[in-house]
Each structure stands twice: as C-alpha cells, then as structure tokens.
A and B are shown apart, each in its own frame.
Chain A
C-alpha cells in the first residue's frame, strides 16, 4: 500500500491563480480530510468527507472547495489564491469507526 499520497510536494502561486491539490489513498478509507498548518501552529481542519459524494466544512473552509467523486481521491481546490493561504496542507484518511488517522506527507504552498 502507498498509503496517503499528495501532489505536488511544493507549489508557488501568484495571487489570484487557481490550482488543485491532489490527495489519494489506496486503503479504501471512507473518511478523508484536509488540514492546513501555518508556521508554529497546530493543524486546522479545512474540509472533510465521510464517503463518496459527501463533503462538509471544517474550521477554516473559506477560499477552498472540495469534491469526492470516488473513495480514493479527495482534491482540494483554491479558486483564487491569496497570500493568507500560504501554508502546508495535509490530507488524512481513516476507516469510519476506527481511531487512527493516516496523514499524507503534505504540500507546501506559497502564494506571492
């Protein structure tokens, strides 16, 4: 198993550009989520999904969109990047009803 994979590892955007951060898992996990981590801070939940076709907002959803068309993939879209979205983004997944979440290696995003 590859576990949770994220692409790209690094990305630089200009203000106003759009892009999609990719997240995939091969463990058939129902639950997937996106977090952001700003310097010196803990992780904050952006969006999450409890299964294909179902998504919901977390603590800091503004400026981000998600969709879940398959169990494996959970992309995060930035429609119009802003410098405040400079952060490290982590994707995670787990099986519903279990306790352990599996995190990806992260995407480091800089918006200039």
Chain B
C-alpha cells in the first residue's frame, strides 16, 4: 500500500470549509483513498473513499487530483463537533480489509 503524508495539525473557524490535504505520490492505479476520523478517544469513524473521481456524501467531499498523487478532504461547513484527528489511508482495491493508519491531521475547529 502506498504511503501517505498529512500535516500534523490544522485550524479552522466554525462555519468555514475545512480542507485537509493528503499526499500519496506513490499511489498505484488500483489503490483507493480512504478517510477516517477519530473524535477524542473514540473508535475511528469512516468518512468517505474514492478511486479517481471526486466523491461527495452527507459528511464530506473528496477531491482527488488528476494524477492521483494527492487528495483533499473537504468539510464544507465545519462545526465544533468536527474537531478530531483525520486519517488518510491508501488501500489496494482487492484488499479493503487491513487498514494501515498513520498519525493523521489533528483538526481544531474554533468558535
């Protein structure tokens, strides 16, 4: 699985969009990009995943560059409850089970 690089921390004002970047320059053609988050000390929570096209669900949007070497998770209207550690994970499409977590980005949403 390709390695990912994320900034260790970011701040965002409540109500503004939070844009969390992830670099995965060694990603191969059949690897998916997943995002999970961990609020305080709870178990991680799945957010979204994508392969090539941009994806959107009720929680967030995922923008993947055309060369697939990086992606951005967008929380369109951040709230205080979005304060969490966000993990970007790259996985082979045939093996979606074993997640390898890095240290993630700690997002702090402030009033």
Contact = CB atoms under 8 A, between A and B. Distances in A.
Interface string B37-80: 00001111110010000000000000000000000000000000
B42 A105 contact: yes
Interface in A38-92: 40-45, 48, 50, 58-59, 88, 90, 92
Interface size class of B (residues with CB under 8 A): 20 to 34
Contacts of B102: 42
A98 interface: yes
A103 B97 contact: no
A99 B32 contact: yes
B41 A33 contact: no
A15 interface: no
A76 B102 CA distance: 23
A10 to B, nearest CB: 12
Contacts of A88: 41
Given A43-B44, A106-B42, A98 B96 contact: yes
12 contacts: A4-B43, A31-B97, A33-B98, A42-B101, A45-B100, A90-B43, A94-B97, A99-B32, A101-B36, A101-B97, A105-B43, A106-B41
Interface of B: 32, 34, 36, 41-46, 49, 87, 96-104
Complex A-B, nearest 9 residue pairs according to Cβ-Cβ distance, in ascending order: A103-B43, A42-B101, A100-B46, A43-B101, A42-B103, A103-B44, A31-B97, A90-B43, A42-B102
